Amino acid sequence: MEMTSSGAGAVTTKLDVDDDYPMAATAEPPCPPATERKRCRRRHVVVVASLVTLPLLAFFVLRRERSSTAWLQTAIAKLTAMNDDDGGAGFMDADDPPHGGGGHNNELLGGLLPPGMDRRSCRSRYQSSWYYKHFPFAPSRHLLEKLRAYEARHRRCAPGTPQYARSIEQLRSGRSAAAAEGGMEECRYVVWLPFDGLGNRMLSMVSAFLYALLTDRVLLAALPPDSAALFCEPFPGATWRLPADDDFPVANLFRVGQDMEQSYTRLVVDKKVGLGPPPAANATATATTTTVPPSYVYLSLGWLLRDGIFFCGEHQRVLGKINWLLLYSDLYFAPSLYAVAEFHDELRRLFPEKESVHHLLSRYLLHPANPVWSLVTRYYRSYLAPATRRIGVQVRMFGFASIPADDMYDQILNCSRQEHILPETDEAATPTAAATGGGHGNSSNNNSTAIFVASLYADYYKRLRSRYSAPRMGMAKGGGGGGSTSTSTRRVGVFQRTHEERQATENLAHNQRALAEIYLLSFSEELITSGLSTFGYVSSSLAGVRPAILLTAFDHKVPETPCRRAVSVEPCNLTPPRGLECQGKPVDKEDLARHVRVCEDFKNGVKFFD
């Protein structure tokens, strides 16, 4: 669903289509041989004639508007985007960089991504670098080596391999691999289970992958129907998808809650697994000789954090003896892994810049599938690409912190003024950096700004559109999801792709649209995001941008300080472990205090800092 507007200066055309679904039916198929060539030539003549006629028509309609050139380009982009289907057919080849897009053209991201994977099966993997404005962190050599070693291990152990079949049989036996065969299996697994909304899921996926890297495990994703067509396969030559529920020995994977019977802490309390006597100073903790490790355990690392002892080194050594870990989490728990002494040094080598952890791993792991990528690129090319600067505004209201829409809108504007983000409407004022800043775009001498709004509701989009549509600004409304403003110094367009009123995580189409908006936000040079929002955390971290974070109205009170500029692009772990008394090797507390600190938007959360 998309809000559109038209006015005296707007181009209206029946070529405008619904951006919510792939346009495979709209795209032109390739010409068949011989028998159909004449018909195919006639069809191309009609389309070429349209391309010639549309600019002339738009010229006469918009000739009195100073901003006609920019919005004319938008109209042309909308026409050409109609032929940009998943197969890349049409006059604008899907393999061409977008107009006004992309400042970083290294498609493998400095070696972060593995070469040789099929381009057409996952276009986003190789095209995303065209759209991002920032790639601020170079992957370390140690991270690249670790990723290539992980990929080789994943190929050996993935579903469909003899090693995987052997591990499944061990799981069915109800015993650990160590007990069953007197030694450790080469292939050990952490299975990611879906929990909570899309932003939470993406954060926990990245955390699970980091844990797999640190423990030499293989990450498998148990993807339910509402998530099955969101992401590409991330690893070359093998799948990361756990086979269907009926084929897996552990039942009810998608229906288990945080308080499960097989959670690690409950097994410890029930003495079904645990530690031996306290080790000597130079000894290591081991599983007790009177208990046999089970074939699998759940890790309950959701917001209730049932398994806080997971973050103790001695318990990590016990978990290392269990082949199958089923991870139930909606948190970005990566910062808390830095407090585990056994992981501390390896994390320092992998990520010399701690602020880079999620940015690098999410760009490596999470690539929108082709249907989602089509939603992203068509919208971007049609509405955002003609602008010389792009600003994202993400608004999420929580029930425990809801405030009137007027107050929320005022908070957004106050934050913008404090951080100099949105263009000002006073023509006498000196244009701000956000209004006139460079960015990558067309060669027009005029500056233009596209403001992309992501919210479940249309209210903030309408208010911003009205703000930049005041008659004193000499406004000419633009077609296709937003309004535009034209002055002698700046043009502003406000766009919102969807306003679905409620979150519907169980719906695949809803999740596809939400994922498209996360990536559209991440293509911004500046971001205003909502505090505590995992949607905002993922967008800004993917972007490599330190956002202005709107502070949460706890107890429904509007905060005196509207927002804080993030010091780190890292997401916040909203529920870190507290009060743990671990028996293992002590961590470097000075280094820990320097790099894991309180989040800018939540005093009870922690995140990585440099």
Q: Is residue 508, in this structure, part of any structural domain at all?
A: yes
Strands across the sheet containing 218-221: 218-221, 189-193, 324-328, 296-300
> Is the Cβ–Cβ distance between 360 and 599 less than 8 Å?
no
Residue 20 makes CB contacts below 8 A (sequence gap 6+) with: 1, 2, 375, 498, 509, 513
223 HSE (CA, 13 A, CB side): 22
Q: Which of 174-183, 206-215, 295-304 has the lowest mean pLDDT?
A: 174-183
Same structural domain, 398 and 302:
no
Overall domain count for the chain: 2
Q: Is-contact 521 394, C-beta < 8 A?
A: yes
pLDDT of 415-443, one tens digit each? Answer: 999 999 999 886 423 333 333 333 333 43
Query: Considering the chain, what percentage of its residues have pLDDT values greater than 90?
Result: 49
Nearest 5°: CA angle at 448, between 21 and 547? 75
Whether 65 maps to a domain, the answer reads no
CA dihedral 400, 534, 441, 52 (to 10 degrees): -80
| pLDDT bucket at 510, cuts 50 / 70 / 90 | confident
Residues 311 and 340 in one domain: yes
- Residues 183 and 241 occupy one common structural domain: yes
Average pLDDT, the chain: 77
Residue 287 domain flag:
no
pLDDT in tens, 147-191: 999 999 999 999 999 999 999 998 988 777 654 444 446 899 999
- Residues 489 and 491: their CA atoms lie apart, in Å, by 7
- Identify whether 325 is part of a domain: yes
- HEC string of 552-573? CCHHHCCCCCCEEECCCCCCCE
CA distance 447 to 487: 10
- Count Cβ atoms within 10 A of the Cβ of residue 216 and give its class: 0-12 exposed, 13-18 middle, 19 or more buried: middle
Per the structure, the complete domain to which residue 187 belongs is given by 114-273+293-353
What would the DSSP string read from start to end of 69-133? HHHHHHHHHHHHHTT--TT--SSS-TTSPPTT--S---TTTTTTSPSS--TTT-HHHHHHHHH-S
Residues 500 and 574 reside in one and the same domain: yes
- Same domain for 375 and 266: no
Higher pLDDT, 459 or 56: 459
pLDDT tens readout for residues 235-282 = 999 999 999 766 789 988 888 888 788 889 999 998 888 775 554 444
Residue type (1 letter), 284: T
Question: Can you give the CATH number for the domain in which 458 is found?
Answer: 3.40.50.11350
**Residue finishing a domain among 306, 328, 353:** 353
Higher pLDDT, residue 38 or 329: 329
Residue 267 parent element (H or E): helix 264-269
Same domain, 383 and 522: yes
Encoded tokens for 233: 């396969």
Burial class (CB in 10 A: 0-12, 13-18, 19+), 61: middle
Residue 94 has a pLDDT of 53
Measured CA to CA, the distance from residue 324 to residue 314 in angstroms comes to: 18
C-alpha span between 542 and 547 (Å, rounded): 12
d(CA 10, CA 71): 9
Rounded to whole angstroms, the Cα distance separating 395 from 409 reads: 10
Q: Residue 65 pLDDT > 90, yes or no? A: no
pLDDT recorded at residue 371 = 95
Task: Tell me the C-alpha distance between 503 and 586, whole Å.
Answer: 43
Residue 500's pLDDT band (cuts 50, 70, 90): low
- In three-state form (DSSP H/G/I as H, E/B as E, the rest C), the secondary structure along 497-564 is CCCCCCCCCCCHHHHHHHHHHHHHHHCCCEEEEECCCHHHHHHHHHHCCCCEEECCCHHHCCCCCCEE
Q: Which residue's entry shows tokens 């082709």?
A: 370
Residue 511 lies in a domain: yes
* Claim to verify: residue 251 and residue 384 sit in the same structural domain: no
Chain-centre distance for alpha carbon 201:
10
Does some domain include residue 5?
no
Residue 481 pLDDT grade (very low, low, confident, very high; cuts 50, 70, 90): low
Residue 574 resides in a domain: yes
The residue among 325, 353, 381 that closes a domain is 353
Report the DSSP beta bridge partners of residue 493: 450, 484
**Among candidates 194, 248, 186, which has minimal Cα distance to 217?**
186
* pLDDT at residue 270, as a whole number: 87
Examine the domain organization and report whether 323 and 387 are in the same domain.
no
pLDDT given at position 43: 47
Ramachandran bin of 102, using left for φ above 0, alpha for ψ from -120 to 50, beta for the remaining angles = left
Check whether residue 327 and residue 408 sit in a common domain.
no
In tens, the pLDDT along 367-400 reads 999 999 999 999 999 999 989 999 999 998 887 7
Rounded mean pLDDT of 519-538? 95
Q: Are residues 585 and 458 in the same domain?
A: yes
Q: Is the pLDDT of residue 359 over 60?
A: yes
Burial 322-344 (b: 16+ CB within 10 A, else e): bbbbbbbbbbbbbbbbbbbbbbb
Domain shared by 418 and 563, yes or no: yes
Same domain membership, residue 222 and residue 138: yes
Which residue would you say has higher pLDDT here, 487 or 309?
Answer: 309
Whether the per-residue pLDDT at 139 is higher than 50: the answer is yes
In a domain, 67, yes or no: no
